């Protein structure tokens, strides 16, 4: 997916500064045992079936919604630069996208930015849901940071 798509309403960017060094924040994603604790919106849990954290590797999991609905997920890792960048493609269902996660030192912490570029334009309802879900995901990550930071 290329940057020109972002100008056509197919991109969502979410960002937050966390009180942790880049390496710790990166490791909270790279370690599936940690990732399972915080990945997904509020009230969701995840069961990981496969997590091959390397370029070309597959990440397969099921998100379990608070209402009991299961949401299978298939993602393929494209690029991994430790403590700097993770790129993966969400490769199933009608909402395919590329996620680029960047880690940048900011003050005493790290700015984590998620840039999602979708294969097609999103409805306002879907866009609003994703923006809210990303913020909830960041809230859960902040809680996990607090558990692992000295």
Q: Are 144 and 36 a contacting pair, CB within 8 Å?
A: no
Domain-located, residue 59: no
As for how many domains the chain has, the answer is: 1
Domain-located, residue 72: no
Domain-located, residue 67: no
CATH number of the domain where residue 115 is located: 3.30.530.20
CA distance 96 to 107: 34
Domain containing 13 equals 3-40+82-148
Query: CA nearest 117: which of 79, 89, 81?
Result: 89
Digit-by-digit pLDDT tens for the chain (150 residues) are 333 334 347 899 999 999 999 999 999 999 999 999 999 999 999 999 999 999 999 999 999 999 999 999 999 999 999 999 999 999 987 779 999 999 999 999 999 999 999 998 888 999 999 999 999 999 999 999 999 997
What pTM was computed for the model?
A: 0.91
Q: Are 22 and 38 a contacting pair, CB within 8 Å?
A: no
Domain-located, residue 92: yes
Domain-located, residue 52: no
Instruction: Look up residue 59 and give its two tokens.
Output: 């990440």
Domain-located, residue 117: yes
């Amino acid at each position: 997916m290329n940057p020109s798509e972002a100008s056509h309403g197919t991109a969502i960017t979410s960002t937050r500064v966390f009180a942790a060094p880049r390496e710790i924040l990166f490791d909270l994603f790279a370690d599936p045992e940690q990732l399972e604790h915080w990945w997904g919106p509020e009230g969701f849990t995840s069961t990981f079936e496969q997590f091959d954290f390397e370029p070309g590797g597959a990440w397969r999991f099921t998100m379990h919604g608070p209402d009991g609905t299961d949401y299978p997920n298939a993602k393929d890792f494209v690029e991994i630069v430790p403590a700097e960048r993770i790129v993966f493609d969400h490769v199933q269902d009608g909402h395919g996208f590329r996620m680029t996660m960047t880690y940048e030192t900011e003050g005493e912490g790290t700015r984590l930015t998620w840039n999602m570029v979708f294969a097609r334009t999103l409805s306002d309802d879907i866009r609003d849901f994703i923006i809210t879900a990303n913020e909830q995901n960041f809230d859960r990550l902040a809680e996990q940071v607090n558990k692992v930071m000295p």
